[in-house]
Amino acid sequence: MTVGNALNLSADEVLSTTRSVRKRLDLERPVPREVLLECLELALQAPTGSNSQGWQWIFVEDAERKKALADIYRTNATPYLDAPKPAFGDERDLRRPQVVDSARYLNEHLHEVPVMLIPCLEGRADKAPGVSSAGFWGSLLPAVWSFMLALRSRGLGSAWTTLHLVGDGEKQAADLLGIPFDQYSQGGLFPIGYTKGTDFRPAKRLPAEQLTHWNGW
């Protein structure tokens, strides 16, 4: 099945409305592999340092493995979500209850999502001599975001998550999925599903003007 940009959104609409989808992931509707591969083909157009393309993409559909990954995620996410967070002191504080509520929902339902993605990059970020962490992750994360944009333009959604990686979590996930832990780093865990409705809006962000510097800090 090839579905392309099924929603006919403009590039700017896709860029401004690709949200973290948690409560609006359709947990019942299966996601065909063809759609995932189509999104991945687009994502692989992203840049990598020296055109290295040292990435591997692990999709998990198996119910037992999804449950095991969700358990790893929960071990870290539950205390994180329960812990008090320092205030930003600006409008970001207003949206926080909504974000936490949504994140709690995902924490509870993660094992139910149709597909999970763990994108991996060759090497270990902390053991790459002569490579900064920006240089390392810069060869994976642009493609991951492209993948999320491609999902959005086809009526699917995801949420960027990293909490399963904390502590022993990355190693446990590696052992579960057979990822060679010493040779590959995991970039996150991405729940994937069709979205319930396709009407997503731009988020309120800090204004660009407040964050911009011209010709120096």
Q: Which is nearer to ligand FMN, 3 or 171 (CB)?
A: 171
**110 binds ligand FMN, rule: CB under 6 A:** no
Q: Which residues have C-beta within 8 Å of that of residue 169, sequence separation ≥ 6?
A: 72, 73, 75, 76, 163
70 alpha-carbon distance from chain centroid: 14
DSSP state of 203: P
User: Between vectors from CA 147 to CA 34 and to CA 48, what angle results, nearest 5°?
Assistant: 120
Site for ligand FMN in 53-72 (CB under 6 A): none
- Residue 181 touches ligand FMN, criterion: CB under 6 A: no
Interface with ligand FMN, residue 203, by CB under 6 A: yes
161 touches ligand FMN by CB under 6 A = yes
Between 81 and 177, CB nearer to ligand FMN = 81
Q: According to CB under 6 A, which one of 106, 117, 143, 148 is a site residue for ligand FMN?
A: 106
Taking each helix axis from N to C end, the angle separating 169-177 and 63-82, rounded to the nearest 10 degrees, works out to: 180
**Residue 103 in the binding site for ligand FMN (CB under 6 A):** yes
Q: Which is nearer to ligand FMN, 99 or 134 (CB)?
A: 99
d(CA 194, CA 70): 19
Q: Are 13 and 199 in contact (CB under 8 A)?
A: no
Nearer of residues 20 and 48 to ligand FMN, judged by Cβ? 20
Interaction of residue 99 with ligand FMN, rule CB under 6 A: yes
- Compute the Cα dihedral for 88, 143, 164, 184 and give only its sign: negative
> First-to-last CA distance in the chain?
49
Asked whether the beta carbons of 163 and 113 are under 8 A apart, the reply is no
Region near ligand FMN per CB under 6 A, out of 2-10, 98-106, 169-177, 178-186:
98-106
User: Which of 137, 160, 171, 177 lies at the binding interface for ligand FMN (CB under 6 A)?
Assistant: 160
The residue written with tokens 């763990």 in the block is 118
Decide if residue 74 touches ligand FMN (CB under 6 A). no
Q: How far is CA 133 from the centre of its chain?
A: 18
Q: Tell me the site size for ligand FMN, rule CB under 6 A.
A: 11
Instruction: Tell whether residue 100 is a contact of ligand FMN (CB under 6 A).
Output: no
Whole-number Å distance between alpha carbons of 167 and 182? 15
16 binds ligand FMN (CB under 6 A): no
- 20 forms part of the interface with ligand FMN (CB under 6 A): yes
- Give the nearest distance from C-beta 215 to ligand FMN in angstroms: 28
Please report, as ranges, the residues that interact with ligand FMN according to CB under 6 A. Answer: 19-20, 99, 103, 106, 159-163, 203
